Structure 1
Amino acid sequence: MNKKIQTFFVLATLFLSGSIQAQQYKVDKTTDVKINGGSTMHDWESDVEEVTGSATNITTEGNMIKEITSLNIQFVVKSIESGKGKMNSLTYEALKEESSPKITFNLTKVNSISGSNLDVQGDLTIAGKTKSVNLEGKASVAGNTITITGEEGIDMTQYGVDPPTAMLGTIKVEPNVTIKYSLVLKK
């Protein structure tokens, strides 16, 4: 009888430990992040080509997220690509790439999840300076894939970033940029 009880507890422990493991999602390479801004000469757009990160403890129901407790995203500064070499180097310098090679977002609080609408708060670190931000987006679930889309306006000067200039200061980048994202997370 004692052997049966031990076997039961071993099996129960194995079953429960398997069922309470957090669902781990990783940022997929199909994620699309663009930074849009303007200057005294023209509007511009840069692609963020290397985005990494993960999310855990996500509960889904049908095609909607019901709960999320952990989301960490990193943009590699040197992967910001405008298609213009000089603009790239000015961007890396302005974002202090040598001392702060990544832009990061770490979820700190979920304000609300309603249908496909997400309202979250997190710490955004740019050029080594961290500020709390609220982000609103739309989320959808399809099989093992979660897609979160949205955009956020940012004043670079709030992060200690001096907007780049060119041609002896005659061309000035505006301090406000918009980050547009389609974050794809896969199990």
Structure 2
Amino acid sequence: MQYHTTHRQSLLKAAILWITFALVPLSLSAQNFKLNNGEGEVMVTGTSTLHDWEEVAEQKSGSITLDNTGELPKINSLKFTVEAESLKSGKGAMDKNTYKALETKKYKQIVFELKSVKSISPITATSDRYRVVATGNLTIAGSTNTIDLPFNLTIKEDKVLLEGKKPLKMTDYNIEPPKALLGTITTGDEIEVLFNTVWK
């Protein structure tokens, strides 16, 4: 009986060790990077009947998990968040209209979350830069759409850079384009999100 108990314990220890060592390469191969709010920029641009406009996101956060051990990097996860009321144009009245249109009292954040990577390819043969098309859910003002997000991915030793732009329509997210001066100034439905972000 003692032999069987000792043998069973030995097998259990061996199994635990095997599982531990089997998992080590996975944990080492996947690297997690956090968005650095103090670097880079996220900007929204658009038009109106009076002039073009732009707003910059002052509060952004997110994380990306990469496996860079293969021939091409693999993006395991990506989530990107902008605090809706951190969008600033430098004009208080315009910001107020923006927050009203986005219903920021109810919907605090704008969020993109990765579902899958459609394509990834090196920009040049010897570069650490890649052209990526990621499919994910974009949620604005409580409405969620699945979109393709194209961007350039640059991988350095201690950081990752994501750069790209994406045209959107406000009405696709049930947002009525803001108006000003009793409706005499109307914002165009089409906007563009431009981002140049640093992840560490």
Q: 1:26 aligned to 27, 34, 38, which one?
A: 34
Structure 1-normalised TM-score?
A: 0.89
**Contact in 2 for aligned 1:65/1:139 (Cα 8 Å):** no
**Contact in 2 for aligned 1:31/1:51 (Cα 8 Å):** no
Deviation of 1:61 (Å): 5.8
Q: 1:102 aligned to 102, 109, 131, which one?
A: 109
Tell me the equivalent position of 2:61: 52
Deviations 1:157-181 (A, max 9, x none): 1100011111111111111110000
Greater alpha carbon shift after TM alignment, 72-81 vs 13-22? 13-22
Q: Distance in 1 between matches of 2:183 and 2:108?
A: 26
SS at match of 1:68: strand
Moved over 4 A (4+): 2-13
Q: Distance in 2 between matches of 1:73 and 1:104?
A: 6
Q: Over alpha carbons, which structure has the higher Rg?
A: 2
Structure 2-normalised TM-score?
A: 0.83
Unmatched segments (≥5 aa) in structure 1: none
Identical counterparts, % of pairs:
32
Q: Which has the higher helix share?
A: 2
Deviation of 1:9 (Å): 5.6
**Contact in 2 for aligned 1:112/1:119 (Cα 8 Å):** yes
Deviations 1:93-114 (A, max 9, x none): 1011111110110111111101
Tell me the equivalent position of 1:154: 168
Tell me the equivalent position of 2:4: none
Tell me the equivalent position of 1:68: 75
SS at match of 2:97: helix
Q: Distance in 1 between matches of 2:72 and 2:97?
A: 39
Q: 2:149 aligned to 135, 140, 151, which one?
A: 135
Greater alpha carbon shift after TM alignment, 19-28 vs 8-17? 8-17
Unmatched segments (≥5 aa) in structure 2: 1-6, 123-129
Tell me the equivalent position of 1:111: 118
Tell me the equivalent position of 1:78: 85
